[in-house]
Structures are given as C-alpha cells and as structure tokens.
Structure 1
Amino acid sequence: MKKTFAAATLLAGLASLSPLAAQAEGHYVPGVEGIQAASVPPPGFYYLGYAVNYNANSFRAPGSSTDLPGHNSATVTALANRFVWMTGHKLLGADYGVEAIVPLVRTSLTINAAGLADSRTGVGDVYVGPLVLGWHGAQWDAVAAAGMWLDSGSTDHPASAGKGFKSTMLTGGLTYYFDAAKTISGSALMRFERNGKTDSGFRHGNQATVEWGLAKVFGPVQAGVVGYSQWQTSNDSGPGASADKSSRHALGAELVYPIASVGVFLKGAVYKELRAEAGTGPQAKGTLVRLTMVKAF
C-alpha cells in the first residue's frame, strides 16, 4: 500500500534524507559532494560509501516564521553505496563511465503537529547512471552526467525510504586549480532533477542543486569551505498542489585525508543550514554530517 497523499506531502518538506531522497522534493541530497566535486577519477572501478546523518528539530508551515506546536524532530542516517566504472573509452573527448547508487536508510520521524511518529529502515530508491563524462585540462576538470532515480524503495509508511516517484537527473560541473601544483582549488557541481508523478497523480516541481567547495592542500591533508543551495524551479502539480516553492542553503567545512598505500580517500564534512523555505510540506532546517570513503580497485 502506498503512502497517503497527506503523509507524502508532509514528508516532502521534512527533508526525508537519503542519498536518494532529497532534502527538498526531489531525490538528490545536497552536501554529499564538496571539495573537487566535479573531478572524475581516471579509468578504473571505484566504490564510494557516503555515510550521512541529518538532524532537524525546526519545522514551520509554508510562509510561517513560527515553529509548529509540540515536539517535532527528524533524524535520518543513510549509507549510500555508489559504484563507478570509468571504462577507459572516450566519448566527445572525455573519459566515459557508468555508475549506480544503492542507499540503505534509517529514518526516525516525530511530528506531533501532524500526529506522526514512525521509524523505518530499508533500501531507498536506486539510481542508475549510464552516462558519466569526465574532461581533464592542465588546471581544470569538468563533468557531465545523466541518469534516473528509480521508484524502487518502499513507500508503505511515513518514514519509508522510497519517494514514490521516478526522476531524471542531469549533472554538470567544473573544478579549477589556481596553481600549477593543484594545491588550491575551487569547484561547483550542479544537478537538475525532473520529477515524475506519484501514484496519486501528484508531481513535485523540478529542482536544481548547486554544491561548491574552496580548498587548500596542507601536506597530505586537504581542507576547505563547502556549501550547498537547492531550489525548486517549477510549481507542483496535481491533487493538493501548492504555489509555494522550497529552497535551502547551507555552509560547512570539509577535510580530506588520502591513504595512498591502500588506494583510499577519507572525507569528512559538517554543514549547517542557514536558511530553508517550505514548498508543499512543513519547512525543516537542520545539520548534516557526512563521512565518505573512496576506494579505488
């Protein structure tokens, strides 16, 4: 049985966090990429494990500056398992690759104002990306990609990991190195999602996400400032659609430590959301902590 429309629209604004359940109304979660986000690795097979924790305890109705009454909180812990194969072939002058993401999600949700209390663990919606293109210059890297989030996760309960709809995602980005030794970098990565309809005929508006990072190498360690912004770019449609559009903006810091002997990179980042505006559901604002392991095979 699918989620009721009331629960689904509520959860859309609760930042139902998984690497495949976005903080606004799409699938993509901002904050999973940061420093050198637009740099594609050389040919080979890679595993990227994103451990993400999102906590929110501030919920407001659309257009309101007052918190919803009662105790309201959401905690989402997720492990996004991302698999990338850079094939060694060229397409349009770029390294060509494919990717897939399988998320495991634990969501705990208490919204007294809506009479909701639910906790669930499950596999979220899966992402399949048949097109990853990476270009490399003397002091720059660029990426373009396309893929689809599948409607594969469960939506039986309010805290279920699935979104209840498919979406197509397009990606583009650039990393620039300010010196020939590549010790100082700036990057920006943009994702655009076109969301599909739920079983009830409701369609969340499309969304755009920009993640950025400014970093400096200090010996073996790389550290920098990171941030993200996410906007709903079109109106919702279908039963119960709202004219309100969601957005959120965050600032944080990231640290990267390579372990070259085993082909591993470890990354840690913390983000604080500075502003959030609601769309269809309540406005949630919180803190995101992300730990990433990149393993080259």
Structure 2
Amino acid sequence: MRYRNWLALGLALGGAAFATQASAANGHYVPGVEGLNGPVVPPPGVYYRGYLAHYRIDSLRDGSGDAAPGRNRGEVTALVNRLVWITDRQFLGADYGVEAILPVVDVSLRFGGVGLRDSDSGLGDLFLSPLVLGWHGDRWDAVFAAGQWFDTGDFAANRPALPGKGFDSTMLTLGGAWHFDDARRWTFSALSRYEVHGSQSETGVTPGDSLVVEWGLGHRLDSGLTLGLVGYDAWQLERDSGVAAPGDKAEQHAIGVEAGFFWPVLGLGLNGAFYHEYDNRAAPQGDLLRLTLTQAF
C-alpha cells in the first residue's frame, strides 16, 4: 500500500518526484549539471552553455529509501540551453549579469512494478534571472543570483512524462570556490540552489521548499585538462501542502567524476561528468551522465 500511496504523490506532482527535469528532487533545478567550478562567474561577455544530460532510472524509492517492488526503469534525456550575459557594470563590488534557461526534454517511463508507463518530449519550463553577481579574489570566487522558473511547459496531473512541472518556482543561488594555490590548479567549490515553489495549478498542491548543493574538488594538469571528484545532495526541506499532499520528503545523493578542457583561443570549453546516486528517498534512483559545452562570444 505504501508504494501505491507514494506513486500517487508522483502523479499528483506531475512527475516532480521522478521525471521530467532529470533528477530534480522536488523542484525545477537539476542537481549535477554544474560540477567543477560551478560558482565561478566568467568575465564580462556573452556565453552559451548547453547541457546534455541523460538520467537512467534503475529503481523507485519510497520515503524510507526502500525500492518499490518489480521492474521500474526509465530514461530522461535533456538538452538544457543557457544564455548568460555578464555586463561590464558592477554592483556591490561584483560583476553584474543576467541569464535565461530553456530545457528540451525527452522522457520514457516504464514502471511495471507500480503499473505506470508513459513517454513524451517537448520544451520544459522557462527560467529567467535579472540578477547574477560574481565576485573574484586572488584565490577565491563567489556567486549570488536570483531568478524565476515559469510554468510554461506542458503539464497534466495524470501524465508524469510531460515536460512541465505545473508550478512556478523562485530560485536563489549562493556559492563559492577556493583555490589552494596561486596558479589555481587545485580548487574546491560548492554551489547551492534554494527553491520556493508556488501552487500546482491542476492539483492545488504546493511542493515544499527544496535545497540542492553541488560540490567538486578538481585539479588542472599542465596539459590544461581538469580532472576531479564531484557530487550532489538534494533535500526537500518542507512537506508538500494541500488536500492531496502526501507526507514523504524527497532526497537525492550522488557522487561522481568529471573531466574538462578549455581552449582560450576558441573561447570553447567541454566538460563531461558521470554521477551515481546511492541514497535517494521519495524519488527515483539511478545514474546521471552529463556533457557540457561552453562557448564565449
């Protein structure tokens, strides 16, 4: 019975617990997309970042972390398009910028153990941020940002594979990076995203606030190749509210590796990372493969 109740939670939130934006615990932001040097804001300019993420679901986990019975598999592939403009103006001693994010997702769910099969693809919810602040020191960098996820993607309460979440979210970002040497060859970074969610239009359920922390320890070799250990932890901090709201709070925890290279002459960077989730609750559990292309204009 508890698995049926937990499945009802996922459907009530339009798949927020286990679908669409890859591995978001209960909100919009996908943990694991930034990795090494995530808090380091680039110098003034216009940048495109494309994140290609493939999340393979191996099991469904209830609020205690136990796997739902039967064979429950799925894949979520997302191309997340991000445009960033860092201006030549400063505010509070930081470089000031703005950004926009629009994901394109393809979802296939085959949850035979809990009697659910669904697939779809399309544009996800749009994110706009009028405030991106980046500070830089000799051995440190820091970032603060604020923005809004808008309910623009297709959504239906009985279709968890649809690309929209069915609610808006306000997202605050805070993070920093510490470089252990003057040449910045060794770096530890941590990037947090805090989301406050609105009410889901079709169900009346308001998801609880969520927090994601991404971290990385990286080393840049003489060749310019950067290698490192990365991970993410995501928590639903409050229980959902509303008549149909269940009691479990989602969690996700993962560890992985990343490699990246940047060509300064071309203004081009490529990164790849693989994450393995090891302790999830009220959420799917699986592996995340992410490729990132950065182009400076």
State the TM bucket, normalised to the shorter chain: over 0.9
Q: What CA distance in whole angstroms lies between the structure 2 residues aligned with 1:202 and 1:268? A: 36
Asked if 1:127 corresponds to 2:127, the answer is: yes
Shift of 1:5: 7.6
Q: Is the 8 A contact 1:230 1:248 kept in 2?
A: yes
Shift of 1:222: 0.6
Q: Is the 8 A contact 1:135 1:141 kept in 2?
A: yes
1:155-234 pair list within 5 angstroms: 155-156=155-156, 157-199=159-201, 200-219=203-222, 220-234=224-238
Counterparts in 2 of 1:230 and 1:76: CA distance versus 1, 3 Å? same
Shift of 1:8: 3.3
Counterparts in 2 of 1:255 and 1:49: CA distance versus 1, 3 Å? same
Q: What CA distance in whole angstroms lies between the structure 2 residues aligned with 1:261 and 1:104? A: 30
Q: What CA distance in whole angstroms lies between the structure 2 residues aligned with 1:17 and 1:103? A: 8
Equivalent of residue 12 in structure 1, options 3, 13, 16: 16
Shift of 1:235: 1.5
Q: Is the 8 A contact 1:35 1:226 kept in 2?
A: yes
**One-letter identity of the residue aligned with 1:142:** A
Shift of 1:7: 2.1
Which secondary structure does the structure 1 equivalent of 2:280 belong to?
strand
Shift of 1:248: 1.0
TM-score computed with the length of structure 2 as normaliser: 0.92
CA displacement, residues 48-92 of structure 1 (integer Å, 9 cap, x when unaligned): 000000011211333362x32333112000000000000111111
Q: Is the 8 A contact 1:32 1:290 kept in 2?
A: yes
Q: Is the 8 A contact 1:69 1:112 kept in 2?
A: no
Q: What CA distance in whole angstroms lies between the structure 1 residues aligned with 2:85 and 2:164? A: 26
Shift of 1:246: 1.2
Shift of 1:10: 6.8
1:140-159 pair list within 5 angstroms: 140-156=140-156, 157-159=159-161
CA displacement, residues 131-160 of structure 1 (integer Å, 9 cap, x when unaligned): 000000111000000000000000143211
Counterparts in 2 of 1:137 and 1:64: CA distance versus 1, 3 Å? closer
| Runs of 4+ in structure 1 over 3 Å off | none
- Structure 2: which 5+ residue stretches go unaligned? 1-7
Which secondary structure does the structure 2 equivalent of 1:243 belong to?
coil
CA RMSD of aligned residues (A): 1.6
How many aligned positions are there? 286
How high is the sequence identity, in percent, across the aligned residues?
Answer: 47
Which secondary structure does the structure 2 equivalent of 1:106 belong to?
strand
Q: What CA distance in whole angstroms lies between the structure 1 residues aligned with 2:261 and 2:62? A: 41
CA displacement, residues 80-116 of structure 1 (integer Å, 9 cap, x when unaligned): 0000000111111100000000111000011224432
Q: What CA distance in whole angstroms lies between the structure 2 residues aligned with 1:262 and 1:208? A: 35
1:66-85 pair list within 5 angstroms: 67-85=67-85
Which secondary structure does the structure 1 equivalent of 2:265 belong to?
helix
Equivalent of residue 240 in structure 2, options 236, 239, 255: 236
